[in-house]
Amino acid sequence: MDSIPLAIVRAASGGSARLVGIALALALASALVLGLGSKADAKLSFELRGGSSRGGIIEAARGEATVSLSDGSSILAENGTKFSVEVQGPNAALTRLVAGKLHVRVEHNEGTSYRFVAGPYEVRVVGTEFELSWDPNGQGLALSMSKGEVQVLQPSGKPRTLKPGQTLQLPRAES
C-alpha cells in the first residue's frame, strides 16, 4: 500500500480503537483483493533456455531446449525438435510441434487451457504431464501419458481421452 486512507488517520486521531481496527481491516482486504485480481489478470509469459528462436519457430539444435512458463508449466524439447509457443491468455497457450519430441508438464490453474497441435492432431490439456512426438515424414504422432488427462482430437472420428500409463500412436495424414 502506498498511502494510508484518510479515514484511518481521522479514526486514529479521534481515539476510537474499534474504528481504527475496522478501517485497517477494510484497507487490508481491499489491498488483498486488488493484488489477487492483478495476478489473475497477468498475461502468461515464457522464457526459452538452451534453444534458438527464428521467425517464431523454436529449435533445440544443440541438445535440449526448455520453455519455462510463468504459471509453472514447462516444455522440454529434445535435440532437433522444432516448435512454436503462442500465448493466448492468462493461463492459455497454443504450441505447434513441427517435428521432434516434447516432454510437457502443465500446471493446473483456474482457466488453464493448453493446446498442442501436431500435424492434423490436437491435444487439449488442463493440467498433466506427457511426452508428445511428431514425425511428419514417417511415424506420425506418438503420445505417452505420465500424469493427468488429455483429449486428442483428430480429423475424423471421436475425440480420445488418455489417462496415466496410456499411450497412443496415430499415423501421419496421407496427402
Q: Is the pLDDT of residue 87 over 50?
A: yes
Q: Is the pLDDT of residue 139 over 50?
A: yes
Which residues are registered as beta bridge partners of 139?
Answer: none
Report CA 14 to chain centroid distance, whole Å. Answer: 51
Mean pLDDT (whole number) for 44-64 = 94
Mean pLDDT (whole number) for 78-101 = 96
Mean pLDDT (whole number) for 81-101 = 96
* Residue 77 main-chain phi, psi, to 5 deg: -105, 135
Q: What fold characterizes domain 46-170?
A: Jelly Rolls (2.60.120)
Q: What percent of the chain has pLDDT over 70?
A: 75
pLDDT band at 13 (very low <50, low <70, confident <90, very high): very low
pLDDT at 174: 63
17-38 pLDDT tens trace = 553 344 434 444 444 333 444 4
Helices 17-41 & 6-14 angle (0-180, nearest 10): 160
pLDDT band at 41 (very low <50, low <70, confident <90, very high): low
pLDDT at 175: 53
pTM listed for this prediction: 0.73
